[in-house]
Amino acid sequence: MRRIKVTIVGAGNVGATVANILALKGMFDVAMVDIDRDLAKGKSLDIQQQCALVGSDSRVEGSNDYSITEGSSIAVITAGIARKPGMKREDLLKTNAEIVKQVIENIRNYSPEATIIVVTNPVDAMSYLAYKVSGLPKNKVMGMGGVLDTARFMYFIKTKLNVSYNSIRAMVIGGHGDEMVPLISSTYIGNKPIRSLLSEEEINEIVIKTQQGGAEIVSLLKTGSAYYAPGMSVVRMIESIVFDKKEILPCSVMCEGEYGINDIFFGLPIKLGKNGVEEIVEVELDSKEKEMLSKSVESVKSTIKLLKELITL
C-alpha cells in the first residue's frame, strides 16, 4: 500500500499529537522536523515503536534537517512559541512570523507542491504569511482554527443538553480568537433549532465559553496550551484532503470577496477535498452574526496590517 507522506514542522505537543494519530492509522508516513533534532528524533522513535503494538507499518522520522521532508503531499506547520497565560494571540505575531517564514521557505525547497496547513498562532495572520511566502495557489494554503472552535462549541452544547455529538449540527466561523462567531441561527440538535431548547441567556453562556475555550485550557495547564483537540482537528482536515471527502469544514482561507471580505485569511466554511480549498460555502447569517463577523474581520485585518509592518512579504 502506498502511504501518503506528511511533514510536520514542530515536535511540540500539537505536532507530536498529529504525528502520533497519523502513524497509528497506518496510511501515512510522517517526517517530523524541529530545531531541536533530539526532540524530533526521540518523539518519532517513540511513536514508531508504538506502531508495533497496533500493526501499523507507517514510517516516522524525526530530524532538524528538512531533507527528510522531500516529496511530502501535505505540510503541517505547528512551529512557534505557545501562548502563555494572559498573552493574546497577537502578542505572538513577530516571533512566530519569523519562524513561519523560514519554515515555508524550507518546505518549498523540498516539497514545492505540498498543501500547507498552518496551526501556528495567530493562525489567520500566519496563514496569510504562508500563502505569500510559498507562492502556492490559494486553494493549497489554509489555517486550522474553525474546526477546533467548532469542536469546543459542540462540547459545551453536549454538556448542557446531554445529547450525542452525532445529534449536533453546529459551526464556528470568523477569526481564530476571542471574536470567533458561533453560528447560532444554523445550530440544530436533531431537527430542532438550539433556540427552541435553550434560552438566550443559556446560549450566550455557551458562546462565551466557546470563545474563551482555549484561554481556559491555557490557564489550567499553566505551562502550555491545548494539543489533543488541535491535533485531531488537523487530522480531520488532512483526511478530508487525502481521501477527497469534500467535507464542509470551517478553515482560515484567502478571501476574495466572499462574505464581502477581501485580501485576508479568515475562517469560513469550505469544501475540503483533494484539490484543497475547493469552494468557500456561503451560509445565511442573521443580523447579530453579521455584526459579530464584521468585528472579527476588523480584528484579523488589524493583525495582518501589523504583520505587513513587521515582516517583508
pLDDT of 1:
65
pLDDT digit string (tens) for 191-215? 999 999 999 999 999 999 999 999 9
- Going from N- to C-terminal start, the domains of the chain cover 4-143, 146-310
- Kindly report the pTM of this predicted structure: 0.96
Question: How many whole angstroms separate alpha carbon 47 and alpha carbon 268?
Answer: 34
pLDDT digit string (tens) for 234-258? 999 999 999 999 999 999 999 999 9
Domain 146-310 has CATH 3.90.110.10: yes
pLDDT digit string (tens) for 45-74? 999 999 999 999 999 999 999 999 999 999
Question: Is position 176 annotated as part of the catalytic site?
Answer: yes
Q: 4-143 with 146-310: one CATH topology?
A: no
Structurally, at CATH architecture level, domain 4-143 sits in 3-Layer(aba) Sandwich (3.40)
Q: Give the residue from 147, 176, 126, 137 showing the smallest Cα distance to 270.
A: 147
pLDDT digit string (tens) for 249-287? 999 999 999 999 999 999 999 999 999 999 999 999 999
Phi, psi angles (nearest 5°) of residue 124: -65, -45
Please identify which of the residues 108, 176, 236, 301 carries the catalytic annotation. Answer: 176
